[in-house]
Chain A
């Protein structure tokens, strides 16, 4: 069993829909990262969370430390949001990350 599990693996949505991507982890962590990877492109950090909730534009990330679960929400989705969204966790003060396998999001017109 992977230490970091994401769901769903694939997601198709229509423009304007509210999207939720989930991440569950099995180890104690100091921080959780949400990353975005566009086709053929690099990886960009969206959020780093250690508690509570963060918002940036149409993106919202939440984390529940007790339940070992985080969600990434996209409001009013747009085709340019189409990408792979990756959850990664850090344990303790070390910088090493453990990654989920990603959620591939396709937003259509």
Chain B
């Protein structure tokens, strides 16, 4: 049982490049989400999904796209990377609407130069 698997762990991009951060969970969780973590700030929600085919914007969605074609996978796409997107990214999943713990991936440290 792998839990939440997030890849890559580290990435360096040049300004303007695009990339996809992968997130997969094997717990059949409906709810999946992407956060970014910046120094001095709490984790901020980028996008989330409450089930396959359903996505919605969080607090800081600009510059990011998501899709949810399956229950297991929730990739985050950076369309044209900017230095302001340098951050640590976390994927998380849980059962929607149930008061249980959330499970987090190991994080991706992204640097945009």
Contacts and interface: CB of A to CB of B under 8 A. Distances in A.
A95 B94 contact: yes
A97 interface: yes
Contact of B90 (A43, A50, A101): A43
Interface residues of B, number: 27
Interface in B90-106: 90, 92, 94-97, 99-106
A63 B48 CA distance: 27
Q: Which of B43, B103, B106: most chain A Cβ within 10 A?
A: B43
Which interface class (under 10, 10 to 19, 20 to 34, 35 or more) fits A? 20 to 34
A42 B105 contact: yes
B105 A31 contact: no
Contact of A4 (B42, B45, B94): B42
Contacts of A90: 99
A95 B30 CA distance: 10
A45 B102 contact: yes
B53 interface: no
B33 interface: yes
Nearest to B50: A95
A14 interface: no
B95 to A, nearest CB: 8
Nearest to B102: A45
A85 interface: no
A59 to B, nearest CB: 14
Interface of A: 2, 4, 30-31, 33, 35, 41-45, 48, 50, 86, 88, 90, 93-102
Given A41-B107, A45-B104, 13 more contacts: A2-B42, A42-B90, A42-B104, A42-B105, A43-B90, A48-B99, A50-B99, A86-B42, A88-B43, A96-B48, A97-B43, A101-B40, A102-B42
